[in-house]
Amino acid sequence: MADKETYYITTAISYPNDAPHIGHAYEAVATDAIARFRRLQGKDVFFLTGTDEHGIKMLQTARKQGIEVAELADRNTPKFRQMVEVLNCSNDDFITTREERHKRSTQELWRRMAAAGDIYLDKYAGWYSVRDEAYYDESELSEGPDGGAKLSPQGTPVEWVEEESYFFRLSQFQDRLLAYYDENPNFIGPETRANEVKSFVRGGLKDLSVSRTTFDWGVPVPDDPKHIMYVWVDALTNYITGVGFPDEESESFKKYWPADVHIIGKDIIRFHAVYWPAFLMSAGVALPRQVFGHGFLYNRGEKMSKSVGNVIDPNALVAEYGVDQIRYFLLREVPFGQDGNYSHDGIVQRINADLANDLGNLAQRSLSMIAKNCGGTVPERGELTDADKAILAEADGLLPRVEAEIDAFAIHKALEIIWALIADANRYFAGEEPWAHKKTDPARMGTILYVTADVVRQAAILAQAVMPESGGKLLDLLNVPENARDFTALGEAGRLKPGTELPTPQAVFPRYVEPEGEAG
Ligand code: ME8
């Protein structure tokens, strides 16, 4: 048998300077849905996520809390691991940048960039706050009291500092990057982001300061360990560490690198579409095929912030609404690539309309009629009418349309297509009135129920990528064997077999009912 086609997909690695928020959950869920979709297509998928434990953001938070930075990472990284579990993500690994394998990998990438002549030692100069361990731009500073030292945005005194720093010759990569974007028009998505990146690169690139000597939290520069690598050199490298770099002969590296796509938020597109390819070009490592920048999630239009008190804990959302409900809401409601909002009312609307009414009722009504009137087994399929043929043909023909949307990272559109089938199936069911044939023509009733149940089967198979648990439950209710749940079972190939015994039907999507006293 031919080897399976491979597919390597990653999320960004999150800063564990706090507990995860809904933006992190959104990225994890979207990436997981794509990973699961590719597996259902029969691909050999590797899905990597993790945490970015180094960097100034971590140092500053630890300092504010009066704890060691390692302790901060130890406290929060497990919360990210738990989040992906609670969200039912199918990641194959979870990387943290403090791991030994990652240090080896990052140092090797550095050595190669240095060997290529793209790293040199120079001086970095700027306004530095010793207390924040950070440099600030002149424009961020305010005058200090009584003509004293200027102050950082944190209110800490800054001084003009010159320190030794290694630089990466990013300026030398402008033409190569522009040529790469031209040759690979799908490298950056969505298109708005691609345009942003291209105009940034066309504007000229400055060399990048890639080391610091003012702290020791991070990966030391090989052969000059008083220098700590800039956090983005280390962070981006996680994507190759995760599949075995620097062992390029390892089976996993050969199989999965270059990555098919890095899924990230729009705020970090530049790091992924400019710095990362430049580092890889310098080191002679193949470039990822695509980088996709999703939008930001806002709470009813407001940016999440601790001071506003609207930071939402993904665990609490899952506990309140259910995991598949949240996954579905996030991926259906927000066009992937654009910003979006979430709100209690929006979530409840999707749960009650799309899940409970549309898909849930279709399954529940057809399956309970089968239980009552067909002896609890899949009914015989009699001669098909035009209406039967039409709805089956729609279901049978869905896959290429859904695939095209997923290929374009339009997850919301893929769901729209599946839900259009469900709406048509509801119309079919209501129009054919199986109950009206119960006494006069039970065979016709059986055929309508058969057709409806097979459409539910196909909708469930397709929906599994977004709702793995509920899709699986629907397929259990149809007694679909484990080996007939991927996309090869769509259409005629996996049709329900008349006579198959079915378990007692159960509601898979309960309506959301407002808790007592909170309705309104
Ligand atoms: O940027 N809505 O980490 P991070 C949607 N460590 N996505 C959001 C979001 C929101 N409100 N807020 C953040 C970092 N994100 C680096 C990445 S990768 C080599 C290093 C997204 O914890 C954000 O865009 O700040 C990013 O993709 C991810 O969450 C982690 O953000």
pLDDT in tens, 335-389: 999 999 989 999 999 999 999 999 999 999 999 999 999 999 999 999 999 999 9
Residue 338 Cα to ligand 1 midpoint, Å, equals: 15
Contact 429, 365 (CB under 8 A): yes
For ligand 1, whether the C-beta of 232 sits within 6 Å is no
What average pLDDT does the segment 67-86 reach? 98
What average pLDDT does the segment 25-39 reach? 98
Which among 18, 52, 105 is the best mutation to test ligand 1's pocket, defined by most ligand atoms within 8 Å of the CB?
52
> CATH 3.40.50.620 in the chain, residues?
6-111+231-294
CA-proximal residue: ligand 1, atom 22 (nearest): 14
User: Tokens 């709100």 belong to which residue?
Assistant: 343
For ligand 1, whether the C-beta of 13 sits within 6 Å is yes
pLDDT band (50, 70, 90) for residue 520: very low
Closest CA to 283 of 416, 128, 420, 119: 119
**124-135 per-position pLDDT tens digit:** 999 988 777 778
Determine the Cα–Cα distance for residues 54 and 90; give it in Å rounded to an integer: 25
- The SS3 call for residue 135 is strand
CA-proximal residue: ligand 1, atom 16 (nearest): 14
- Long-range contact set of residues 349-353: C-beta below 8 Å, sequence gap at least 24: 350/325, 351/321, 351/322, 351/325, 351/509, 351/511, 351/512, 352/511, 352/512
> CATH 1.10.730.10 in the chain, residues?
353-501
Which among 57, 234, 266, 268 is the best mutation to test ligand 1's pocket, defined by most ligand atoms within 8 Å of the CB?
268
For ligand 1, whether the C-beta of 291 sits within 6 Å is no
> 353-501 architecture in CATH?
Orthogonal Bundle (1.10)
Asked whether residue 4 carries a pLDDT value surpassing 50, the answer given is: yes
pTM: 0.95
CA-proximal residue: ligand 1, atom 10 (nearest): 23
Beta bridge partners of 14: 51
Asked whether residue 308 carries a pLDDT value surpassing 80, the answer given is: no
For ligand 1, whether the C-beta of 293 sits within 6 Å is no
CA-proximal residue: ligand 1, atom 7 (nearest): 23
What average pLDDT does the segment 251-264 reach? 98
Per-residue model confidence (pLDDT) at position 300: 72
Per-residue model confidence (pLDDT) at position 228: 97
CATH number of 6-111+231-294: 3.40.50.620
What average pLDDT does the segment 81-100 reach? 98
Report the atom number in ligand 1 closest to the C-alpha of 17: 22
- The SS3 call for residue 329 is helix
Residue 248 Cα to ligand 1 midpoint, Å, equals: 28
pLDDT band (50, 70, 90) for residue 305: low
For ligand 1, whether the C-beta of 268 sits within 6 Å is yes
CATH number of 119-212: 2.170.220.10
Q: What angle do CA 289, 295, 301 make, to 5 degrees?
A: 175
Is residue 139 packed enough to be buried (19+ CB in 10 Å), middle (13-18) or exposed (0-12)?
A: exposed
Q: For the chain, how far is it from start to end, CA to CA, in angstroms?
A: 59
For ligand 1, whether the C-beta of 292 sits within 6 Å is no
Per-residue model confidence (pLDDT) at position 519: 47
Report the atom number in ligand 1 closest to the C-alpha of 51: 6
Asked whether residue 1 carries a pLDDT value surpassing 80, the answer given is: no
What average pLDDT does the segment 206-235 reach? 95
User: CB neighbours (10 Å) of residue 370?
Assistant: 25
CA-proximal residue: ligand 1, atom 26 (nearest): 265
**155-188 per-position pLDDT tens digit:** 889 999 899 999 999 999 999 999 999 999 999 9
For ligand 1, whether the C-beta of 236 sits within 6 Å is yes
Asked whether residue 475 carries a pLDDT value surpassing 60, the answer given is: yes
Report the atom number in ligand 1 closest to the C-alpha of 24: 29
Contact 467, 411 (CB under 8 A): no
Which among 14, 48, 219 is the best mutation to test ligand 1's pocket, defined by most ligand atoms within 8 Å of the CB?
14
- Average pLDDT value for the chain: 95
Contact 395, 421 (CB under 8 A): yes
Share of the chain above pLDDT 70, in %: 97
Residue 24 Cα to ligand 1 midpoint, Å, equals: 6
Residue 390 Cα to ligand 1 midpoint, Å, equals: 44
